[in-house]
Structure 1
Amino acid sequence: MTAPAVSRPGTSRPGSSKRRRREALWFYLFVSPWIIGFLVFMFGPMIASVYYSLTDWDSFTSPTWVGLQNYVTLLTDDDRFWKALWHTFYYAAVSVPLGLVLGLWLANLLNKQVRARKVLRTLIYLPTLVPLVATAMIFRQVLAPHGPLNKALGMIGISGPDWLLDGSWATPALIVMSAWSAGSATVLLLAAMKGIPKELYEAAEVDGAGAARQFWSITLPHLTPIIFFNLIMGMIGAFQVFAQVYILVPKGKLRAAYDGAETMVPYLFDEAFGNYHMGYASAISWLLFLVVLVFTLIAFRTARRWVFYETEVK
């Protein structure tokens, strides 16, 4: 009677390599639609836009090579570009912190034992499900000169401005609208709050810590990973704001109001599809990409100082 064959460590069974190849084949087969879609609709156009940013191209004739001239013109001889960049910074610098603070406040409120919590959670998250175009059309009525917002301000003796007709108030109007979508951040923060161990709060109460001290010493540190995620996503979204500006702020005879709120992506859109300066618009897109990349890297670099992970030992 012969003893059964025993495989040595480091050796594979005869059929294992064949099974692994078959599994790898099925893996690449299932993931291939995403890979093809990424190469055709993302990576390919990105590489093409790098080339077009170095050309003078109107999308109808053959592109003419101009080198770095588009970038030089943007940075040295285009006041509209710098205004759009400033409006983008202004919008991002106010709307992102406002969304973070509002989402944190709402999450902390809903985490307490209040009446109709489920209804309130639904109402707070509901605006994020409304299409952006529909939201913009609603806020066009809310921010009208005789709209509900100015009427509410008039009831307390404040004369409301022409939000969408005055260039100096158009960007604040967009910031007010951005607070409408704080529900997505609220849901994530609320879920994170539910995951904080109750033993920490019980120990803090034994030590005599009040509600404020518990929030700053326990709740907030445990929420920093979610706050960091919301910061990154909110910042990227704020730098790419488009539909709100293009739909809310009128153009034509009221071009001054639009110029007072124009951000980078609407400017890029006008250059590409309004003036047919595709090469110039490609250069704008890559400068915008560099701006977003720099701010994202700064956020990741500074995250080491304030983002707390439970499994991380410092």
Structure 2
Amino acid sequence: MTASPRRDPVPARRRGARTGSRREALAGYSFVAPNMVLLLVFVLVPLVWAVLISFQRTDGFGTGRYIGLENYSRLVTDPVFWRSTANTVLFTVIVTPLSMAIGLGIAVLLNSVLPARGLFRSILILPMAISGVATALIGVLIFDQDTGVLDKLLQSVGLPAVAWQSNGTAAFASVVLVTLWWRVGFNMLIYLAGLQAINPELYEAARLDGANRWQQFRYITVPLVGPSSFFLLILNVVYSFQVFDIVFVMTDGGPENATSVLVTYAYNNGFVTGDQGYAAAIGVVLLLLTLLFTVLRWRTSRTRDLVE
């Protein structure tokens, strides 16, 4: 009687492994699918639609007429567009480094043996819990040139009141100050997480080598929070380029376009004058500027992947 040949169990195990891999992949896709659908519906579709509208002339919310690159050529000769672009860049250049520097400084203090650290952290993070519109309304209560708290305090000590709404420089400064108050807490929180991940033995070794506090900060803290700085730089620049709510509520771009930024100018064209095609062209330019900065910063950064 001839014995039957034994079956090799290896192919069966391979088939089982392939089946398990397919199931894992299917489970992964099922978890990702809702986010991808939301991304498609609320980001990609509106983005493509905005690009299509930017090649049209629209009067109100009716059907547009294709005009090619006319909206983009109009941007080149539009002084308000260039003023808004300059204001956006200036706002970004001021707010981004200041909010990051102040956030890092506060994070260093709160990461030390400062008394009541928990209370200070809660106070600084509190602005993150409210919306930009609510923050801007608080800014109006403080900086209003007729009934604002700040002007009343200045007058009470014999100083002249500041025309926060009718003076362009003062209006721009008020928007910057309110934005800093709103953004510093977030920067502090990210930096604090980065500082707590640094090994304390590095500071101990630096102290044994004779490094003072500034040298420890310069040569240990700043390099090792590089990934946090990279993340915050991208996030702050994108936010600054897209700032709208604080400017719209506090100044509405005035006086005389002194605080007009690209998003408020696009809003006025799209929803006030009803020129959605031109507003979409402004939005596309803003998107390209943001993407250009992000790509350049990603390609030139040496600290985005830095680990201890």
Q: TM-score, normalised by structure 2?
A: 0.90
| CA–CA distance in structure 2, aligned partners of residues 26 and 199 of structure 1 | 43
Partner amino acid, structure 2, of 1:174: V
Report if aligned partners of 2:252, 2:260 keep a CA contact under 8 Å in 1: no
Is 1:33 aligned to residue 34 of structure 2?
yes
* Aligned twin of 1:286: 284
| CA–CA distance in structure 1, aligned partners of residues 159 and 29 of structure 2 | 63
* Aligned twin of 1:221: 223
Report if aligned partners of 1:164, 1:250 keep a CA contact under 8 Å in 2: no
> How many pairs does the alignment contain?
303
| CA–CA distance in structure 2, aligned partners of residues 29 and 297 of structure 1 | 30
| CA–CA distance in structure 2, aligned partners of residues 171 and 223 of structure 1 | 31
Q: 1:35 to 1:310 in 2, by over 3 A?
A: closer
- Percent identity of the aligned residues? 33
Report if aligned partners of 2:252, 2:264 keep a CA contact under 8 Å in 1: no
Q: How big is the alpha-carbon RMSD for the aligned residues of Structure 1 and Structure 2?
A: 2.3
> Is there any run of 5+ residues in structure 2 with no aligned partner, and where?
none
| CA–CA distance in structure 2, aligned partners of residues 169 and 118 of structure 1 | 34
* Aligned twin of 2:307: 310
| Equivalent of 1:237 in 236, 239, 246 | 239
Q: TM-score, normalised by structure 1?
A: 0.88
Deviation, structure 1 residue 207: 1.0
Deviation, structure 1 residue 156: 6.4
Q: 1:309 to 1:28 in 2, by over 3 A?
A: closer
| CA–CA distance in structure 2, aligned partners of residues 160 and 190 of structure 1 | 38
Report if aligned partners of 2:231, 2:304 keep a CA contact under 8 Å in 1: no
Which has the larger displacement, 41-50 or 53-62? 53-62
Partner amino acid, structure 2, of 1:188: I
* Aligned twin of 1:84: 84
Report if aligned partners of 1:7, 1:13 keep a CA contact under 8 Å in 2: yes
Correspondence list, 1:58-97, <5 A: 58-75=59-76, 77-97=77-97
| CA–CA distance in structure 2, aligned partners of residues 196 and 154 of structure 1 | 47
> Is there any run of 5+ residues in structure 1 with no aligned partner, and where?
none
| CA–CA distance in structure 2, aligned partners of residues 131 and 120 of structure 1 | 20
* Aligned twin of 1:123: 123
Report if aligned partners of 1:222, 1:308 keep a CA contact under 8 Å in 2: no
Cα deviation per residue 1:78-121 (whole Å; 9 max; x = unaligned)?
A: 11111111111111110111101110111111111111111111
* Aligned twin of 1:263: 261
Q: 1:20 to 1:275 in 2, by over 3 A?
A: same
Deviation, structure 1 residue 40: 2.0
| CA–CA distance in structure 2, aligned partners of residues 298 and 171 of structure 1 | 28
* Aligned twin of 1:274: 272
* Aligned twin of 2:49: 48
Report if aligned partners of 1:136, 1:244 keep a CA contact under 8 Å in 2: yes
SS of structure 2 residue aligned to 1:114: coil
* Aligned twin of 1:169: 170
Deviation, structure 1 residue 209: 1.0
Correspondence list, 1:196-207, <5 A: 196-207=198-209
